[in-house]
Structure 1
Amino acid sequence: MKNIFRNILAVALISGFASCTDEQDLKFLDNAAEFKILSPVSGEGVVLSPETPTNPGLSMTWEDMDYGTPTQVTYTVQVDKSGDNFDTPFDLVSTNNTYVTVTSDALNGATLAVGLTPFTQGGLEIRVKSTVGQPASEEKFSDVITYLVTPYSSELPKLAVPGNHQGWNPPTAPRIASSAFGQTDYEGYIWLDGGFKFVGPDPSGNFNWGNTDWGDDGSFSGVLVESGESDCTATAGYYRVRANTTTLLYTVEPTTWGIVGAATPGGWDNSTALTYNASTQKWEGVVTLSAGEFKFRANNAWTINFGGDPDGDGSMNYDGPNLSVDAGGTYNVVLDLSNPRQYTYSVTLQ
């Protein structure tokens, strides 16, 4: 009987000790109620602009999260596209404060990353995650608000042009670009050699077979058809390629390039030819120039020509103002048309 009593007492003592330990642990990890975002409130929003990237895009405040013991709390602002239920949240910023200001540029990048459409107002769901310790533990979340954001994009929409010239591989195919976001007038300069098609991006911006694509309608008269069985085609050469996915028309115009003007050996009447470098995808040449003005033109004619960049968008303009060199000498001349609608050049004294 004494042994039985001792065993019962031992079990009771052990249980009591364990209970005390559990109580201490529970006190330390006391699960307080969820905290609240104080500002902004659902329905507020912002229109972002590339002209003011450092302006505040989002200013937030929220309540303290009480873990029941003095400890430093880390707060992470998370965002996701409305309706996605934070299946893949984007961590916008982390702080130990209960407030934060996010620049327009940072907010714009986050909204595009979660799938909002540029220049269109969309709902951005926002919550705050709190954690303690290293590594972070005891995740708690605030309520969720919807912030209405109109993001922007400086990236021109593009189509890939896969074909015989590069192995029919859309991810590595050259691109053509539209004139602005929302426009469908795609253009670019590409070396073609046989069949090719046009392939659009998926929602993540990737180019692969299975995305929307366009081919020739079978008449080979410059008419496109979506998911067409006929390839567009061109003999080997360097082309100005244009395609419009609204009008469903396309053109491939052969071009060879040269430099022309008072600074060049041929003056304004005859272009000095440049040579296409397939490795660099640029037109190049070593040309003796005198001080004076010049331009670049295709096919020794004025139908397609490039001059300066008066609008400051980083690309030479069609029919733009004359370019110039200040001193005579032998120059390495390079014309780079490989980046669609971002056409550049260099003249480097040798």
Structure 2
Amino acid sequence: MKNILYSALLAGLALLSGCTEDEDQVYMSANPVQPVLQLPENGEAYIISEATGENRLAFKWSDADFGAPTEITYKLQADKDGGDFSKPIELGETTNNFISLKSSAVNGILVRNDFEAEKPVIVLLRVTASISSNIAPITSEVIETSFTLYKLADPNDDGSRIYMVGAAVPAGWNPGDAVEMINIAPNIYRATTTFAVDRFRFLGQKDWSPVSYNFPFFTGSVDNNFENARQADREDGDENLWFKGIPGEYTITVDLNTKSIILDAAHTDDNSRIYIVGAGVPDAGWDPGKAVEMVNIAPNVYQTVTEFAVDRFRFLGQKDWSPTSYNFPFFSGGVSSNLENALQADREDGDENLWFKGTAGKHIITVDLDNKTVEIY
């Protein structure tokens, strides 16, 4: 009898998953049980400082129940005092009934969403539970907490960090000495350190757990100086990363969003700059006075992290239209597949700007003026 009932529930789930988006959302049960936040308690106060940034904050709630045995995805969300969660701030996502977040990460998310630092501020919290995009999520009651946050020294730095450990880097295999990587954009980290031909991995904290990243994690673009440490002639049960380049000092950039790694030979910034302007970079638009600055990372090589929209843009040699600018035809050495000439049969562009045709959002862009190349990750 139990098997028959369970089969019926699975059949019901299959039917629900086939619903079109414009059909009414339904619950598996007429009276689903909502989650209840248990930790923190209503009215609890937190004080976060740079000194305590590595400490973790624990959040816990009771299980939701949709009336069917299925995996539930929970999201911990925040909003400002008086907010209605119409634009919730996502703090974390899990399939467990608890989550542990770094204090620095929570601080960064809240400060970058305009919560005031260095004084107690009200932060509303709730948990949502969902099992399918076709089944309406359920939410906990909202609780009110107080957070005292610290200011971010760099607006691009949310205070979060990742680390490198292993024989290839100066830390060796001691996580307490792990090489720190600084946050430069959401989930993007950078460090300058020396590499030897050997293995290493990334950690989410100065400890072996709970978070680490090995070679298979990086399914995006990985610099060809790295490979899986496990090879036919080399054992590595943990599938660490292996540095196979020329030993020396490098700047490494890790993007956990795109699961990619960029490596550049270490270089002292010569203080030269180029700039990006156009509708394709919303932070600048077509105002050269607001052009996005690209920092020198190697002779005639420039890099930055910025927001891109599907539209046109160009590079300037100064925060003005003249005397120097670079359009699409200049880059004869090649550009990323998410770029093309803005001048197309169905699209006019007398200046032959560059056109971004990738996924809108924050990206790392690198311009090499000597080799006349542009890469966007």
TM-score (norm 2): 0.34
TM-score (norm 1): 0.37
